[in-house]
Amino acid sequence: MAKKQNTKRSRVASEILEGLTELHEAVPSGASLDHTFTVRTVELVLKPKDLDPEEIRVLHAKLPATNDLGDGSHSSPAVSGDKLLLLGAKNIYCVGHAK
């Protein structure tokens, strides 16, 4: 069993994590879910900035590689501490640094 981290989470983050845990446990067993999952809408305002080619090259060098999980998703990611939780069509993924 993994060591439980002592991190403070918001009420919403705790609800999302509990729901994802229930979903993760129910899906393989074929059990029914007792909860309805709600998608929250967040407005993100981006302001464009003109970059010269050298600035673009530097930014591309700083970006990490991308990896296709091969498991489509239409859900919003959830954050728990320093981990990112992604709900795929077949799996739930936890992205973060291994300890």
Better-predicted residue by pLDDT, 55 or 27: 55
Residue 50 within any structural domain of the chain: no
Residue 64 has pLDDT above 80, yes or no: no
Better-predicted residue by pLDDT, 77 or 27: 77
Residue 17 within any structural domain of the chain: yes
Task: Match 């129910």 to its residue by tokens.
Answer: 26
Residue 82 within any structural domain of the chain: yes
Q: What is the pLDDT of residue 36?
A: 58
What's the mean pLDDT in 45-69?
A: 82
Residue 52 within any structural domain of the chain: no
The model's pLDDT over 10-44, given as tens digits with 9 standing for 90+, comes to: 777 777 778 778 777 777 666 665 655 555 666 76
* C-alpha span between 77 and 20 (Å, rounded): 11
Domain residue limits at 96:
7-38+73-99
Residue 1 has pLDDT above 50, yes or no: no
The structural domain count of the chain equals 1
Mean predicted lDDT score pLDDT of the chain: 75
